[in-house]
Structure 1
């Protein structure tokens, strides 16, 4: 009887061990073992387990059939990729595995944003000329590895949903981290929707809501008009009419402002220094099909085109002591994507373009300050103008 019970427990443990993890792989062996487990499972059963793990429901049998077809193709791709002993990164089955690459790209990536335009837009906007003069920390040589998450200075990754608003998410994330580093007292959760709605042509910006935009526009906007909180301006994943928070002008309604921003030089050493001395840095990126299924390892520069950009993220750290040096990057596709709650490791190259053109559009916010939520009717027009121009290193709006 004891032998039978032991055998049953062993078989139960083996079955549990063989159950796919779907992602979050820390080694090639782990990814290969998961691929082997997927090979042995019926695809419909695997789909059912994945649906349960991700809380997926479909509006019609036709939609479910289309989702299964996309999922089935993703499984085939994951098995082939992760079974390769020479794979440098690993693929997984995250919450987007029921979408084709075309479907995913159409709703979550930016459109019509060229590298040259991103650089020109950042250079044209008012900004701080340079990072602060060296102090005790700034005079030190940056360490070989640094991660602002370890110091509690990076809020949890968020999800932009079906809207190409990564440019707003990356800039807001940079502001939130900078405020935490500066010790600025604020809600800790700023509104991305304010940026999607308000950073527009009416105020002289070139950003286009869910179609894409420029993180430098967001930083410039916040320097002029302040940023309000998520609680006051909820995210909808659509572009709407700018709702000036509270009752008045956006210049006096918000919880955070910033003393401009700095454009970081396109080099590995300059980015390393900016991250260590100032805080996380916004980066633009060319996302291709292999990227959106990332589930571990170091995403390589080889094979990733550098001719365009379609996504923005936040570099929060680096590890140059690893066999393959890499950047630690926070994405905005939710905590279930990538590794460690929404992150990706990307190879750190020594050229001027970076992996997937990521050395384009590198922006670092300057000193942040908290601003009370005041109604415009309580503040005279002269005070509004003075408040707009109170911060150094920015141009006063005309």
Structure 2
């Protein structure tokens, strides 16, 4: 009986350890590449990275799309200027002067993807709406830890509620970790995903980030006034899949949430389509900046928040038009409120 218990415990332990790392092993990555046609996999994370680490990164609770009574935008008078939808589009090329559009962020050991993706898209849209007068980042730090209705900070949140927060409460400026840019820079250190735990700066050498206290003051650029530094949107909405392209062409990048499966973690290039037997891990939020067609496969172009070492220099493509991993039905945005800001700039 004792031998049976020990044997059973050993088997369960082996199964658990296998579950932790099997999808990061070279054999599994090679298996992906032997079956996929539209994309290629490679090592983005150290093979010993535990399963729980990835679950912490996946913090979007908005993958299911709009719930009852949540706003869905299907038309806009300004869409009339979109006479032609280009076959390929990249917001980084369209609005080159906006430095936030191409910035690859790093959420660190925190499930704050929902906060980084929405503040990043809002930053881009505000830059575009002000004709580049506003050209900095908005604070994911303030959103993640001060918007209590949005979610649980590092433990996930709702992108649509973030845009709603921008509408009613606004958000201050805030640059990257270890910078003094803006009112409230990001306070979670980036980490190296593909290094073993003994290497300084590796993700496994960093402790799991606990939620920060909400600070209602500027600690980055202390010359800024906290209350006056807030920027707002005039609305918030989910997008009808048919109007995603028109909204991006009119106002700029948007947030997009989708289901993440274990094969996605090893994405390197090409148009991602979920592998047949891939295992579901959680919901993730990223920034959608464009689209195109590659080898006859339509795709969305997106920026992730796992630093530039992941994927295609921090970006990836996913199949468009088939609701791949739920992404076509789970995009959110808001239109910046710029009149007051422009008025202040002319004084």
1:324 aligns with 2:294: no
Give the 3 Å change call, closer, same or farther, for CA 72–160 of structure 1 in structure 2. Answer: closer
Corresponding residue for 2:138? 190
The alpha-carbon distance between structure 1 residues 115 and 70, as it changes in their structure 2 partners (threshold 3 A), is closer
- Pick aligned residue for 2:42 from 92, 108, 111: 92
What TM-score do you get using the length of structure 2 for normalisation? 0.71
Question: How far has the Cα of 1:312 moved from its partner?
Answer: 0.8
Give 1:366's aligned residue.
335
Give the total of aligned pairs.
285
Q: CA deviation at 1:315?
A: 1.1
Tell whether the 8 Å contact from 1:282 to 1:315 is kept in structure 2 after alignment: yes
Q: Is the 8 A contact 2:257 2:331 kept in 1?
A: yes
Provide the secondary structure at the position in 2 that maps to 1:243: coil
> 2:257, 2:327 within 8 Å by CA — same for their partners in 1?
yes
Higher relative contact order (CA 8 A, sep 6+): 2
Match of 1:260 among 229, 232, 235: 235
**What's 2:311 paired with?**
338
SS for the counterpart of 2:318 is strand
Partner Cα separation in structure 2 for residue 162 and residue 99 of structure 1 = 16
Alignment correspondent of 1:386: none
| Corresponding residue SS for 1:349 | coil
Alpha-carbon contact 1:286-1:306 (below 8 Å) kept: no
Evaluate the alpha carbon distance shift between residue 326 and residue 225 of structure 1 in structure 2; reply closer, same or farther with a 3 A threshold.
same
Alignment of 1:185-224 (within 5 A): 185-200=133-148, 205-224=149-168
| 1:306–1:226 distance in 2 versus 1, CA, 3 Å | farther
Partner of 1:390: none
Using a 3 Å threshold, how does the CA distance of structure 1 residues 305 and 132 change in structure 2: closer, same or farther? farther
Partner Cα distance (1:72, 1:212) in 2: 23
State the secondary structure of the residue aligned to 2:26.
Answer: helix
Residue of structure 2 equivalent to 1:291: 264
Q: If each structure's helix is expressed as a fraction of its own residues, which one has the higher value?
A: 1
Q: Distance in 2 between matches of 1:305 and 1:93?
A: 16
For the residues of structure 1 that align with 2:80 and 2:297, how far apart are their CA atoms? 30
Is the CA contact (8 Å cut-off) linking 1:185 and 1:370 kept in structure 2?
no
What is the aligned counterpart of 1:141 among 84, 94, 97?
A: 84
Cα separation, partners in 2 of 1:276 and 1:321, compared to 1, 3 Å: farther
Structure 1, unpaired ranges of 5+: 1-65, 373-398
Cα shift at 1:329: 0.9
Distance 1:131 1:284, change over 3 A: same
Instruction: Quote the offset at 1:290 in angstroms.
Output: 0.4
Structure 1 pair 167/254, CA: closer, same or farther in 2 (3 Å)?
Answer: same
Partner Cα distance (1:295, 1:308) in 2: 19
Residue 348 of structure 1 deviates from its aligned partner by 0.8
Shift of 1:199: 0.9
Q: Determine which structure has more spread, i.e. the larger CA radius of gyration.
A: 1
Aligned to 1:167: 114
Is contact 1:186-1:255 (8 Å) kept? no
Which residue of structure 1 aligns with residue 56 of structure 2? 107
- Offset, 1:188: 1.0
Give 1:221 deviation, angstroms.
1.4
Shift in CA distance, 362/187, structure 1 to aligned 2, threshold 3 Å: same
Indicate yes or no: 2:117 matched with 1:177: no
Question: SS state of the match for residue 330, structure 2?
Answer: strand
| TM-score for the superposition, normalised by structure 1 | 0.63
* CA distance, structure 2, for counterparts of residue 73 and residue 135 of structure 1: 44
Task: Give distance in 2, aligned partners of 1:195 and 1:178.
Answer: 17
Q: Which residue is equivalent to 1:76? A: 27
Deviation at 1:131, TM superposition (A): 5.5
What is the deviation of 1:146?
1.0
CA distance in 2, matches of 1:129, 1:251: 32
Provide the C-alpha distance between the structure 2 equivalents of 1:227 and 1:187, rounded to a whole number of angstroms. 15
* Offset of residue 330 of structure 1: 0.9
Instruction: Please state whether the residue corresponding to 2:59 is helix, strand or coil.
Output: coil
Q: What is residue 235 of structure 1 aligned with on the other side?
A: 186
- Counterparts in 2 of 1:254 and 1:157: CA distance versus 1, 3 Å: same
Q: CA deviation at 1:276?
A: 2.0
